[in-house]
């Protein structure tokens, strides 16, 4: 990612923070259009956008409850006519799917813990200390936003071979954490800088060291930002495909995204269990999203995270 874009995005971040504050006032003002007569057609179009966005996911849900005979018929069934839990039973018991689920959970939680801890330390250093090469180091961290996982998979694979880290869940955790550090440090630095300096001074006067200041003052005050980082990191690790596909060989170490592949063989695809598995794989991220949508959407608009 070019440094120029990031500079833009940093100033954007500040603008947006100011806008957040204005938002409550803005919503009371007349809107961007202010024309009442457009309301009905706007509502219809919003409906269309919403339905198109949700349809494939609802269809997946519906398919996961259909028997194979309905799924393979030439006239597709939209709403299950013979609803069954068979696909879920089969998905969960066959192919050690429950194992994949636990693997994914362990990898995602491990990645969240390491990313949140390490990025808080680093963001704290960038936000509160002056030291030589500070901005240069910061931009080196950000540079990787342009080089997502797929691009570096070859050298990462060779490195993992050398470190005897292939086919291991801790190996995945370390690589996922490294890939999430840049955006986490970028987002947290801004929030940490916003914590008033005099609060920190009074802590310091009581003899608190840097780690105490971070854990007792800065982190609690930046809880929403830490939550955003945790949610995004969890989602990233939960759905990551390429690194897992390349590094993991043995079935016992598969994560969900590559575990789904087990339902597909050369000649036939077991669509029913595949979609039951897909629903199971999708539930955690969708649940987290609906519980904390506001934070999620704000995280995206603040950090430009994808």
d(CA 129, CA 142): 19
Min separation Cβ 42 and other proteins, Å: 5
Q: How far apart are the first and last CA of the chain?
A: 13
Q: How many residues bind other proteins (CB under 8 A)?
A: 109
Q: Quick check: 257 binds other proteins (CB under 8 A)?
A: yes
Q: List the interface residues with other proteins, window 44-103 (CB under 8 A).
A: 45-47, 49-54, 56-57, 59-60, 63, 71-76
Residues 101-160 that bind other proteins (CB under 8 A): 114, 117-119, 121-122, 124-125, 129, 131, 134, 137, 140-141, 144, 146-148, 150-159
CB 80 → other proteins: shortest distance, Å? Answer: 14
| C-alpha distance from residue 137 to each of 123, 191, 214, 303 (Å) | 12, 19, 21, 19
- Specify the residue, 86 or 301, whose C-beta has the smaller distance to other proteins: 301
**Across the strands, what pairs with 31?**
none
Residue 249 engages other proteins in binding (rule: CB under 8 A): no
| Residue 29 binds other proteins (CB under 8 A) | yes
- How would you classify residue 255: left for phi > 0, otherwise alpha for psi between -120 and 50, otherwise beta? beta
Q: Which of 95, 110, 116, 179 binds other proteins (CB under 8 A)?
A: 179
Beta bridge partners of 264: 269
Report DSSP state, residue 209. -
Judged by beta carbon, residue 40 or residue 198, the one nearer other proteins is 40
250 binds other proteins (CB under 8 A): no
Q: Please list, in sequence order, all residues whose beta carbon lies within 8 angstroms of the beta carbon of residue 305, skipping any fewer than 6 positions away.
A: 183, 187, 232, 299
Q: Which residue number, 58 or 102, has a Cβ lying nearer to other proteins?
A: 58
Is 252 among the residues that bind other proteins (CB under 8 A)?
no
Stretch that binds other proteins, among 82-90, 178-186, 189-197, 222-230 (CB under 8 A): 178-186
- Cα–Cα distances (Å) from 143 to 130, 138, 181, 195, 263, in that order, read 21, 9, 11, 26, 38
Residue among 127, 123, 140, 137 at smallest CA distance from 229: 123
């Amino acid at each position: 990612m070019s440094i120029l874009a990031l500079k833009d995005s940093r100033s954007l971040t500040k603008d947006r923070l100011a806008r957040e504050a204005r938002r409550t006032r803005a919503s009371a003002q007349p809107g961007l259009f202010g024309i009442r007569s457009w309301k009905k057609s706007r509502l219809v179009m919003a409906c269309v956008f919403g339905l198109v966005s949700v349809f494939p996911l609802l269809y997946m849900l519906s398919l996961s409850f259909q028997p194979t005979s309905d799924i393979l018929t030439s006239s597709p069934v939209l709403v299950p006519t013979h609803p069954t839990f068979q696909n879920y039973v089969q998905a969960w018991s066959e192919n050690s799917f429950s194992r994949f689920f636990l693997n994914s959970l362990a990898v995602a939680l491990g990645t969240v813990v390491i990313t949140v801890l390490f990025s808080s330390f680093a963001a704290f250093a960038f936000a509160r200390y002056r030291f030589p090469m500070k901005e240069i180091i910061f931009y080196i961290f950000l540079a990787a936003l342009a080089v997502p996982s797929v691009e570096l998979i070859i050298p990462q694979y060779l490195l993992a071979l050398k470190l005897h880290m292939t086919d291991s869940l801790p190996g995945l955790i370390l690589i996922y954490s490294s890939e999430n550090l840049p955006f986490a440090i970028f987002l947290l630095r801004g929030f940490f800088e916003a914590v008033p300096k005099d609060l920190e001074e009074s802590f310091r006067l009581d003899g608190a060291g840097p780690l105490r200041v971070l854990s007792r003052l800065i982190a609690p005050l930046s809880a929403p930002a830490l939550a955003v980082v945790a949610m995004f990191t969890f989602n990233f690790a939960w759905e990551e495909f390429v690194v897992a596909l390349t590094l993991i060989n043995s079935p016992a170490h598969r994560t969900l995204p590559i575990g789904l592949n087990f339902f597909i063989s050369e000649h036939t695809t077991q669509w029913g269990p595949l979609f039951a598995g897909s629903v199971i794989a999708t539930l955690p991220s969708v649940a987290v999203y609906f519980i904390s949508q506001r934070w999620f959407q704000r995280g995206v608009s603040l950090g430009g995270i994808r």
